[in-house]
């Protein structure tokens, strides 16, 4: 159960997973974030930081029949997803704010499911803000590549096709009305049709250019608040423009600028709603002397209260109830 004594707690967990993506190297992401000082920055902000190391899994995959077609490395990824879902549930229940350091975006099928299970127990709806160049709303029927990192958001809303991924563990879909795709600028035609059919909230780069990130993020925040929810931020570093963050395997020009990304994080901090985070798709093998890892750590700092100049902070942003 949550421990209300002492400073708010953050639990870091590395997930060195790379087989869900098309390029290898994201398994080095967790250690790159550590080297860039993620624990130190959060500690300086007044959090009690617990580093749980990297998730370790069994290499033995249970025999469960043929895997779904068009889902590469399904049998290997299901082991990661099941193990992570259970750990995410335990970390959320402990009262800590878990930060899942990836690793490719297929890890979110485990991290978000585990957190959503805990929130169901608490009777509070979990919303997910998907900061990403890609919608990741493919299924085995729509995918053009078979890469499972492109199916993670669809899985989380309960789309069919990967129904056995969690085995006997509870599946806790978040519902299509509790997913926000933000910063999108690359989407496959069948995926686009599915997103439209499901009426998923989407703020693409055209909308960001037209209205600005401040207006659009506040819309997300107000919707979460109106339903008494909490927010999981799934931050793919390719949300950023490649000029800002080159260390990803799926770069798409025209992404968020350095200041736009910081404003997103600062407004999310001010809301006091964020209770869990993914940091995914950081590929140090493709980076420039650790540049992308440092930017990611700076943005996490903003998400948890780092300010350039002191300004009043809303009282609900100091995580008073450890929920």
Catalytic residues: 105, 132, 134, 136, 149, 236, 238, 281
Name residue, tokens 């617990």: 50
CA 153, CA 100: separation in Å to the nearest integer? 16
Count CA within 13 A, CB hemisphere, residue 244.
Answer: 20
Which SS3 state, helix, strand or coil, does residue 300 take? helix
β-pairing, 9-15 with 97-102?
A: parallel
CA 171, CA 82: separation in Å to the nearest integer? 10
Q: Where are the extended beta strands (E) located within 56-200?
A: 97-102, 126-131, 179-184
Q: CB under 8 Å to 287, separation ≥6 — which residues?
A: 32, 246, 247, 293
DSSP state for residue 274 in the 8-state scheme: E
Q: Where are the extended beta strands (E) located within the chain?
A: 9-15, 48-54, 97-102, 126-131, 179-184, 201-204, 230-236, 274-280
CA 144, CA 107: separation in Å to the nearest integer? 20
Q: How many CB atoms lie within 10 A of CB 308?
A: 8
């Amino acid at each position: 159960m949550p421990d209300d004594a002492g400073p708010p707690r953050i639990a870091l967990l590395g997930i060195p997973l790379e087989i869900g993506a098309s390029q290898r190297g994201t398994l080095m992401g967790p250690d790159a974030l550590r080297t860039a000082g993620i624990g130190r920055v959060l500690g300086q902000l007044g959090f009690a930081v617990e580093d749980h190391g990297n998730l370790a899994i069994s290499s033995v995959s249970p025999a469960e029949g043929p895997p779904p077609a068009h889902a590469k490395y399904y049998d290997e990824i299901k082991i990661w997803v099941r193990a992570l879902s259970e750990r995410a549930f335990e970390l959320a229940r402990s009262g800590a704010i878990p930060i899942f350091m990836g690793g490719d975006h297929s890890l979110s099928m485990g991290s978000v499911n585990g957190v959503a299970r805990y929130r169901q127990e608490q009777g509070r709806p979990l919303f997910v803000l998907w900061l990403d160049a890609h919608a990741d709303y493919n299924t085995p029927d729509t995918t053009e590549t078979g890469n499972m990192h492109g199916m993670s958001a669809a899985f989380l809303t309960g789309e069919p096709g990967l129904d056995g991924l969690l085995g006997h563990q509870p599946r806790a879909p978040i519902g299509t009305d509790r997913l926000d795709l933000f910063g999108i600028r690359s989407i496959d035609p069948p995926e686009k049709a599915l997103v439209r059919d499901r009426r998923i909230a989407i703020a693409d780069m055209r909308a960001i250019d037209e209205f600005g990130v401040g207006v659009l993020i506040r819309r997300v925040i107000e919707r979460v608040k109106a339903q008494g929810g909490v927010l999981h931020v799934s931050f793919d570093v390719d949300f950023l423009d490649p000029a800002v963050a080159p260390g990803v395997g799926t770069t798409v020009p025209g992404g968020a600028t350095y200041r736009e990304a910081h404003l997103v994080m600062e407004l999310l901090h001010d809301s006091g709603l964020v209770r869990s985070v993914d940091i995914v798709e950081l590929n140090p093998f493709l980076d420039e002397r650790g540049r992308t890892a440092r930017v990611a750590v700076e943005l996490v700092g903003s998400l948890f209260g780092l300010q350039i100049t002191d300004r009043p902070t809303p009282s609900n942003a100091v995580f008073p109830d450890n929920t």
